[in-house]
Structure 1
Amino acid sequence: MNANARRIAHLDMDAFYASVELLRYPELRGRAVVIGGRSVHQPVMRDDGTREFSVLRDYVGRGVITTSTYEARALGVFSAMGMMKAAQLAPDAVLLPVDFDSYRHYSRLFKKAVASIAPLVEDRGIDEIYIDLSEHEEETRALATRIKTAVNEATGLSCSIGVAPNKLLAKICSDLEKPDGLTILTMADVPTRIWPLPARKINGIGPKAAEKLTALGILTIGDLARTDAGVLQDHFGRSYSAWLGNVAQGIDERPVSTSSEPKSISRETTFEHDLHARHDRDKLLGIFTALCTRVSEDLHRKGYVGRTIGIKLRYADFSTVTRDVTLPASVNDPAAIRRAAGECLRRVPLEQRIRLLGVRVGALSKNDGTPEREDFSQGELGFE
């Protein structure tokens, strides 16, 4: 199929968690609001019928922002930022607790509304999807506008849509006119609309790759498109350099996949206070065991087993390390997961204090039987 014959849309809900909260608390519209607090930050109803909200200046702890309104983002407050740092930038920003049940409810509503118009949908998370519009006869802008209207009528929320010949370009252009945007792109538009953008705008160019590109003087997607293939291969290897060369030209042949098979299942937790692997060993053991158990329960509930077991640690200085191990056979029982994760822990430095701990199971396959659950043994962990 000719590239321009494909019409792939990327739909991204605008500041999704925060927007759901604004439906509940409309008096906060236009204000800087951050999501990520605990239950103690629930608004309190006053005697006069108005609500009293928590603000960032009063926050004490080690929490991280889940998301923020556009007004908060204008002050430099973004997701994954530490609450205490955000409080310095926006002390008067309202702080609300997360409510994932509500977010999942609105996620189901907007996806159902889209599927009623265009059923070829690839689910990419709670707030974004790809949609294949190639077989629809309706004109692109009218069709995309109809989808946006359906989402708004079903949820009361706005979304931004990018429509392009492939998933790569659709995801980039859905972000160009946020919020409530609609951007339509053809391959002919790549030099004028895509090449001036920073190279990190390409999904798949992470912080380390972006840093290396910057060191080479490659700042924009256009710079990347004009870079000699040999130079890229010298610095990034054959496979990744070939991918960089293609995406810089706007080339992406990936189909919209309507199956929803997960690639991995994970659980992680951020501590209220940093913990030390030795001084807080017993507490970390309990948390580690609980994470392995919850991942195991998720695997059982969804009917999967996995071969690759991994851990994630974030230290007090916000640096992050990951380790994983691939087992000879797939597992889903907590003891096997914990043993393998413990092996991974023994391969990471544990001198620093830890602020986040996570456990992941990847290389998933459908479970064709239920392995026996094994007893835990405290000596199998790396916190010693």
Structure 2
Amino acid sequence: MPAVRRFIAHLDMDAFYASVELLRYPQLKGQPVVIGGGRRHQPVERDDGQQHFARLRDYVGRGVITTATYPARALGVHSGMGLMKAAALAPDAVLLPVDFDQYRAYSRRFKAAVAQIATLIEDRGIDEIYIDLTDIPGAQQTADGDELAGVRALAARLKAAVTEATGLTCSIGVTPNKLLSKLCSDLDKPDGLTVLMPDDIPSRIWPLPASRINGIGPKASAKLARLGIDTIGQLAQADQAWLIEQFGSNYGAWLHAAAHGRDERPVVTWRAPKSLSRETTFERDLHPRDDREALSPIFTRLCEQVAQDLLRKDYLGRTVGVKLRYDDFKIVTRSMTMPAPTRDATVIRQWAGRCLKTVPLDRRLRLLGVKMESLCKPDEAVLAQEPGVPYSLPLFEDL
């Protein structure tokens, strides 16, 4: 009896946020569209019934791109790029505001569609999941000499289910492990399907840049380049002992294994979050004293959003923290542990306000964030009894 082959899929939604927006505004299909604006960039309906869209060339501020359609990416625009810089590359691109509530709704839809077919699913974020296909009926079948016919048909079935449930496309990579599948889901985007086995690694994986391996960040990639290693194939040819000498025992050994496509990590169907946080970057710098009327509702809303996240995921948190980025880009964080865990927005805001009292508030702020840590389930703790304080409490009082 032939050995059972391990099949792990990585499913990645195609330009997820942008694709959701194109469902709402189908007239923008095929155009360069950037997601990352604020409420003021909401499309406006004219008297003739036509919608007027903001253009990137008119943007003024320091926001960054959340995502972009593939036509926009072809112009050099990508996620994480400043909107002002993107405007120089694609001035005529449409700019749309971010709508995370809508994206989360579609995320739940595509994951529910996959769960109708497969049960071993690892949630990796709003737009990607790992799926263990090994024991799903039909995955191990062969047809007409094609040993991978069964798993290929199963992956196509998953893609069709996602599209039927959401109207969106996804790309899937299927390989023996998570590392290779993550790589392969990006090989044929958008709407791609790549099935790859170990014998295919030299021809399909080794020519790729070493930075394509998930886990090789900018610093490691730059160091590898200085050492004359640019591709995964070159990394695979490097001596393991030499890599350990250059990068340390753990990371050096991992680099060698990753370049050869080795990864034994299982698909983890449940993972408790370590923290939940919300943050916002301001379109202009705000001063803690001069702009307290603008900052106070923003701060309150962040606390409310964190509380809503805790409720939705059914967690309580005991440690509350704040994050500030000043106009000189310096980041400061502070945290406090409360007497009892909570998910009450009023209590979170009170303790987050106390955290703010411990940081310097003499410079303008670019970013403000709130985090909850030390999470637990309700049946593991008693809800906080502290009544909290009114939302009208000044943000930076007594300064």
- Who wins on radius of gyration, i.e. which is larger? 2
Alpha-carbon deviations, 1:132-189, whole Å to 9, x = none? Answer: 1000224011111111112112222111000011111111100010001001111222
Structure 2 distance, partners of 1:371, 1:290, is: 20
Aligned equivalents of 1:242, 1:3: Cα separation in 2: 28
- Give yes or no for contact 1:331–1:337 (8 Å, CA) kept in 2: no
SS in 2 for 1:253: coil
- In the alignment, is residue 256 of structure 1 matched against residue 267 of structure 2? yes
Range 161-170 or range 259-268, more displaced: 259-268
In the other structure, the counterpart of 2:244 is 233
Instruction: Tell me, in whole angstroms, the C-alpha distance in 1 between the residues paired with 2:55 and 2:3.
Output: 49
Q: Which residue of 1 aligns with 2:229?
A: 218
Q: For 1:335-358, what per-residue CA distance to the aligned partner results, in whole angstroms no more than 9, with x for missing partners?
A: 555556766x57xxx887542232
Number of the residue aligned with 1:10: 10
Would you say the 8 A contact 1:310–1:322 is kept in 2?
no
Are the structure 2 counterparts of residues 207 and 339 from structure 1 closer, same or farther at C-alpha, using a change threshold of 3 Å? farther
Contact between 2:320 and 2:351, CA under 8 Å: does it hold in 1?
no
Residues 26 and 205 of structure 1: CA distance in aligned 2, closer, same or farther (over 3 Å): same
Question: How far 1:365 moved relative to its partner?
Answer: 3.2
1:238, CA displacement in angstroms? 2.8
What amino acid sits opposite 1:54 in the alignment?
A
1:102 Cα offset (Å): 2.2
Which residue number corresponds to residue 33 of structure 1? 33
Deviations 1:236-266 (A, max 9, x none): 3333333223222212222112225323201
Structure 1 residue matching 2:129: 3-state secondary structure = strand
Q: Which residue of 363, 369, 374 maps to 2:382?
A: 369
SS in 1 for 2:130: strand
Q: 2:145 is matched with which residue?
A: none
1-structure distance, mates of 2:353, 2:213: 36
Corresponding residue of 2:286 = 275
Using the alignment, how far apart are the partners of 1:293 and 1:105 within structure 2? 19
Query: Residue in 1 aligned with 2:87?
Result: 87
**Pairing 1:355–2:360 present:** no
Query: Does residue 118 of structure 2 align to residue 105 of structure 1?
Result: no
Distance 1:354 1:194, change over 3 A: farther
1:131 aligns with 2:144: no
| Secondary structure in structure 2 of the residue aligned to 1:5 | coil
Aligned equivalent of 2:19: 19
* Residue in structure 1 matching 2:306, options 292, 295, 303: 295
Describe the shift of the 1:78–1:312 C-alpha distance in structure 2 as closer, same or farther (beyond 3 A).
farther
Distance in structure 1 (CA, Å) of the matches to 2:242 and 2:395? 46
Instruction: Tell me how far apart the structure 2 counterparts of residues 82 and 292 of structure 1 sit (CA, whole Å).
Output: 26
SS in 1 for 2:102: helix
The letter of the residue matching 1:85 is: K
Displacement of 1:279 in angstroms is: 6.8
The SS at the match of 1:271 is strand
When the two structures are aligned, how many residues end up with a matched partner?
Answer: 378
Instruction: Report SS of the residue matched to 1:163.
Output: strand
Cα pair distance change 1:296/1:196, threshold 3 Å: same
TM-score with structure 2 setting the length: 0.81
Structure 2 residue aligned with 1:52: 52
1:48 to 1:323, Cα distance in 2 relative to 1, 3 A: closer
Identity of aligned residues (%): 60
C-alpha contact (below 8 Å) 1:289/1:338 kept by paired residues = no
Change (3 A) 1:147 1:371: same
The 1:5–1:33 alpha-carbon spacing in structure 2 relative to 1, beyond 3 Å, is same
Indicate conservation of the 8 Å contact 1:11/1:160, yes or no: yes
Where 2:19 maps in the other structure, the secondary structure is helix
Deviations 1:73-98 (A, max 9, x none): 11111112221111111110011122
Q: Which amino acid aligns with 1:63?
A: G
304-313 or 173-182: bigger deviation:
304-313
State which drifts further: 186-195 or 11-20.
186-195
Give the direction of change, closer, same or farther, for the CA distance of 1:85–1:298 in structure 2 (3 Å limit): same
CA apart distance, 1:326: 9.2
Please tell me the residue identity of whatever aligns with 2:236: A
Question: Which blocks of at least 5 consecutive residues in structure 2 are unaligned?
Answer: 140-149
State how far apart, in whole Å, the 1-side matches of 2:231 and 2:331 are.
Answer: 28
Question: Cα offset for 1:32?
Answer: 0.5
Could you tell me how far 1:49 is from its partner in structure 2?
A: 3.3
RMSD, matched Cα: 3.5
Structure 1, unmatched stretches of 5+, are: none
